[in-house]
Amino acid sequence: MGEFDIIREIFAPLTSNAPGAFQLTDDAALLDVGLVVTKDIMVSGVHFLPKDPIDLVARKLLRVNLSDLAAKGAKPTGYILGCVWPANVKRHSIELFASGLREDQEKFRIALFGGDTAVHKLKTAPLTLSATVFGAPPKLGMTMRSGASHSDDLYVSGTIGDAGLGLAALKKEEKFTTVDKASLLGRFHLPQPRLSLGAALAGLATSAIDVSDGLIADAGHLARASNLRVEIDAVAIPRSPAAATWIASKSNRWRAIAKLASFGDDYEILFSAPSSMRRSIAVAAKASRTEVSRIGVMKRGEGVALLDEKGKEIAVPSGGFDHFKSA
């Protein structure tokens, strides 16, 4: 039983065909008053490490939600917060958490509108957080997860796999230089929601999703939403200097790239656009000061293929990140 099965089989029917719920297949809902709404939960031990600094956890909570709005081209305005604290929480921790929220509220110009807060009975029960973040849809209409056509280009912003390497560094599963480690930890703790790029892509991108489950898994979601297949050119996947060094240290280069593309928590925008739009995409990327890489193409068929430089398919770790399976 996976998270996606649960959502599709048990919860999607509860949308009662409300059009703006998109059968729970998109990153966000569109309410008919003209509001894009998304929600992400973060649980200690599942989505973040118990020792992660709590002000950074607060900022990540906002940013993972802002990333969903970014992929839809929406302009965030505010959020509703839910917190359930361990039984022995100290006031200082809550204040530090709030200071993180304040910092990113100012950065992203959003405000807290309401919420609820409670305390677990048990000291061992984990800090559980949620944010429902909302914003205005782009004037040209919300960019949907579906809508790609056969032969559309596939693009991704930023670099891929850094947050996953950061997590591996935190868990002492991988070793890095001090400089690389700092940069990778930064990517894990403080993703950059691509709000400017997402807004610039409204009306240009035919489909978009934010990369949270891993590039390959989310490419699969994007393909499925348009009943298409995705082919990704492995060498075109953008990687940071730290990730490039890490790949070079591995005996099997393709396996290392496939692993990078299977980590979660990138919070980049993965999107499609017709090849006639290449110039416009470049302009949008430049205007929003965001690196964008063309990494593949949408094809007839289904599934995701990661291809080496000879066009041969590379084996990828199955699944991608699923909190139900990894829990």
Does the protein bind a copy of itself through residue 49 (CB under 8 A)?
A: no
The Cβ of residue 24 has, within 10 Å, a number of other Cβ atoms equal to 14
* C-beta of 34 vs 311, nearer to a copy of itself: 34
Tell which one of 11, 177, 283, 309 touches a copy of itself (CB under 8 A). Answer: 11
Q: Provide DSSP, 56-106.
A: HHHHHHHHHHHHHHHHTT-EEEEEEEEEEE-TT--HHHHHHHHHHHHHHHH
Tell which one of 67, 128, 159, 192 touches a copy of itself (CB under 8 A). Answer: 128
- Nearest approach, Cβ of residue 223 and a copy of itself (Å): 21
170 to 199, contacts with a copy of itself by CB under 8 A? none
The candidate with the shortest Cα–Cα distance to 104, out of 137, 134, 61, is 61
Note whether 228 and 300 are within 8 A (CB): yes
Note whether 48 and 57 are within 8 A (CB): yes
Q: How far is CA 60 from CA 48, 141, 176, 252, 267, in A?
A: 9, 27, 23, 33, 10
Could you tell me which stretch among 100-108, 227-235, 278-286, 292-300 binds a copy of itself (CB under 8 A)?
Answer: 100-108
* C-beta of 125 vs 307, nearer to a copy of itself: 125
What CA–CA distance (Å, rounded) separates 252 from 215? 19
Could you tell me which stretch among 87-95, 142-150, 254-262, 265-273 binds a copy of itself (CB under 8 A)?
Answer: 87-95
| Strands of the sheet with 29-31, listed across from one edge | 29-31, 35-43, 128-136, 75-85, 111-119
Does the protein bind a copy of itself through residue 253 (CB under 8 A)?
A: no
Q: Which two tokens stand for residue 178?
A: 């001090």
Does the protein bind a copy of itself through residue 6 (CB under 8 A)?
A: yes
Element spanning 326, H or E: helix 323-326
- Nearest approach, Cβ of residue 248 and a copy of itself (Å): 34
14 to 43, contacts with a copy of itself by CB under 8 A? 14-18, 20-21, 24, 28-29, 31, 33-35, 37-41, 43
Does the protein bind a copy of itself through residue 51 (CB under 8 A)?
A: no
Does the protein bind a copy of itself through residue 1 (CB under 8 A)?
A: yes
Does the protein bind a copy of itself through residue 307 (CB under 8 A)?
A: no
Three-state secondary structure call for residue 262 = coil
Based on its alpha-carbon atoms, the radius of gyration of the chain, rounded to whole angstroms, reads: 19
Task: Find where tokens 């719920």 sit.
Answer: 21
- Nearest approach, Cβ of residue 7 and a copy of itself (Å): 7
Q: Which two tokens stand for residue 60?
A: 């990540």
* C-beta of 33 vs 248, nearer to a copy of itself: 33
Q: Which two tokens stand for residue 252?
A: 């099997």
Positions in the binding site for a copy of itself (CB under 8 A)? 1, 3, 6-7, 10-11, 13-18, 20-21, 24, 28-29, 31, 33-35, 37-41, 43, 45-47, 77-78, 80-82, 84, 87, 91, 94-95, 98, 101-102, 105, 111-122, 124-126, 128, 130, 132, 134, 323-324, 327
